[in-house]
């Protein structure tokens, strides 16, 4: 089952970019664990200087024949390894510091958001652009919803992206999906095959603490949090907008994406576009429009009137998808000479590996192989 994002948590990126609301601030002065993978890259060598480190120590003179050998240095005389350095945050340019502080201040006032958006997924390998569009909702501190509807390209419509030979990408319709965060769980729907998955949020990620998830933009960060987790850059400044770049510093973030580009409207301090590049090179661009802020949840109430509560969807007509679920070997013991397996969203029964629904893979990452229980020799 293919969901809106490679990982459901990636969804959190979009809403927190839309609303950098306040959160529980990490303890000041706390030093993270010292693994090298979570340390920022070393500073570049200044221009004109070779990166050769300290000059080599003077070598002792060669021993003369018959001379007495010097005593072997004991292990206890070795110098102790220096303590790991604090995880320092690079000082940002004053203009960028001011933008982040203002973004935090303005988004802290946001209680609800509603608007429309489009999504374009660019596959460089096959020169293909897939397009979907829909609407989104946000209610602080932890409710959100994104609806995606596949958009078939018009007859004469041409992609704005071109390949290395200058030919436009081939346009294809995307997928129809929904993603809903109720504050306690994440529900992901695939409208093409009428399946859904459910992922419960741990207590530590509910409420405002949801910003500490692997992709924290959804429900907001403070400026200091953004600086500690990302290498932030100010790319350009326009009349009514700025372009920012965020590169994850931590392994947990890098697993989901390695670059985020944001165009920020400086009148209301909400993003109008977000560009994400995942570790496999897949590029996804979101464009936001018709955004209303603090409308008293008017958009939500309109949807609720005609389609029901947007955060309490009906599951009628949908089959639950549980990826790679099979019964333990003990419960698969055959009672009629046939091994029993559990099919995703279905009852126990049948033979062979569970039936795969179309597009059932949760992410672009390789999925573990499915296994099939085998009857024990000699048993009937």
The angle at the Cα of 95, spanning 94 to 97, to the nearest 5 degrees, equals 60
Ordered DSSP codes for 41-97: PPPPPPTT-----SPPPPPPPPPPTTPPPPPPPPGGGSPPPPPPPP-PPPPPPHHHH
Q: Which pair of structure tokens corresponds to residue 266?
A: 């400086």
* Residue of higher predicted confidence among 311 and 7: 311
Residue 145 CA to residue 151 CA, distance in Å, equals 19
Lowest model confidence (mean pLDDT) among 67-76, 158-167, 331-340, 359-368? 359-368
| Amino acid 48: pLDDT | 40
Interatomic CA distance for residues 289 and 115, integer angstroms: 6
CB proximity list for 125: less than 8 A, separation 6 or greater = 281
Max mean pLDDT among 67-71, 115-119, 254-258 falls in: 115-119
pLDDT in tens, 23-33: 333 333 333 44
Q: Which of 108, 113, 191, 187 lies closest to 149 in space, CA to CA?
A: 191
Query: What pLDDT is stored for residue 10 in this prediction?
Result: 56
pLDDT for the residue numbered 137: 85
**218-241 residue pLDDT tens:** 455 688 888 888 999 999 999 999
Share the mean pLDDT of the chain. 71
Mean pLDDT in residue range 155-178: 95
pLDDT score of 363 = 37
Locate the domains of the chain by residue range: 8-23+90-307, 327-375
pLDDT band at 300 (very low <50, low <70, confident <90, very high): low
Q: Is residue 250 very low, low, confident or very high in pLDDT (cuts 50, 70, 90)?
A: confident
C-alpha span between 84 and 345 (Å, rounded): 49
Query: What pLDDT is attached to residue 88?
Result: 66
User: Which residues fall within 8 angstroms of residue 380, CB to CB, at 6 or more apart?
Assistant: 334, 337
Query: Among residues 161, 170, 163, 174, which one has the least CA distance to residue 119?
Result: 174
Residue 378 pLDDT exceeds 70: no
pTM: 0.63
pLDDT above 90: percentage of residues in the chain:
31
Would you state the pLDDT for residue 141? 81
**Looking at the predicted structure, is the pLDDT value of residue 83 above 50?**
no
**Check: CATH 3.20.20.70 for 8-23+90-307?**
no
**What is the tens place of the pLDDT at every residue in 348-365?**
344 444 444 433 333 334
Q: Yes or no: say if 191 and 176 are a contact pair by the CB < 8 Å rule.
A: yes
Question: Residue 20 phi/psi, 5° resolution?
Answer: -85, 60
| Token code pair at residue 59 | 């070598």
- pLDDT > 70? residue 211: no
What pLDDT, on the 0 to 100 scale, is given for residue 38?
Answer: 43
How much is the pLDDT for 315? 92
């Amino acid at each position: 089952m293919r969901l809106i994002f490679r990982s459901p948590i990636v969804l959190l990126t979009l809403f927190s970019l839309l609303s950098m609301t306040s959160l529980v601030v990490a303890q000041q002065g706390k030093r993270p664990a010292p693994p090298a993978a979570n340390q920022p890259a070393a500073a570049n060598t200044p221009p004109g200087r070779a990166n050769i480190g300290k000059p080599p120590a003077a070598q002792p003179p060669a021993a003369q024949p018959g001379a007495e050998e010097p005593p072997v240095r004991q292990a206890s005389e070795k110098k102790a390894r220096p303590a790991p350095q604090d995880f320092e945050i690079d000082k940002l340019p004053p203009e960028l510091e001011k933008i982040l502080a203002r973004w935090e201040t303005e988004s802290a006032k946001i209680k609800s958001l509603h608007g429309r958006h489009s999504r374009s997924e660019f596959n460089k390998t096959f020169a293909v652009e897939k397009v979907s569009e829909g609407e989104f909702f946000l209610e602080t501190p932890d409710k959100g919803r994104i609806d995606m509807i596949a958009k078939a390209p018009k007859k004469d419509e041409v992609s704005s992206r071109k390949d290395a030979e200058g030919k436009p990408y081939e346009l294809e319709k995307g997928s129809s999906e929904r993603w809903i965060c109720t504050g306690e769980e994440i529900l992901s729907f695939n409208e093409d095959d009428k399946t859904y998955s459910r992922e419960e949020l741990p207590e530590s990620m509910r409420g405002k603490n949801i910003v500490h998830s692997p992709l924290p933009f959804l429900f907001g960060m403070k400026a200091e949090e953004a600086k500690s987790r990302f290498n932030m850059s100010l790319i350009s400044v326009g009349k009514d907008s700025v372009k920012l770049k965020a590169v994850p510093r931590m392994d947990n973030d890098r697993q989901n994406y390695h670059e985020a580009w944001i165009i920020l409207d400086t009148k209301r301090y909400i993003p109008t576009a977000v560009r994400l590049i995942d570790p496999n090179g897949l590029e996804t661009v979101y464009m936001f429009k018709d955004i209303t802020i603090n409308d008293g949840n008017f958009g939500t109430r309109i949807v609720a009137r005609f389609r029901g509560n947007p955060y309490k969807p009906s599951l009628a007509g949908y089959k639950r998808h549980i990826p790679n679920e099979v019964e333990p070997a003990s419960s698969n013991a055959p009672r009629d000479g046939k091994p029993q397996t559990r099919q995703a969203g279905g009852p126990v029964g049948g033979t062979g590996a569970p039936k795969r629904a179309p597009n059932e893979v949760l992410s672009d990452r390789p999925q573990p192989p499915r296994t099939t229980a085998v009857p024990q020799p000699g048993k009937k």
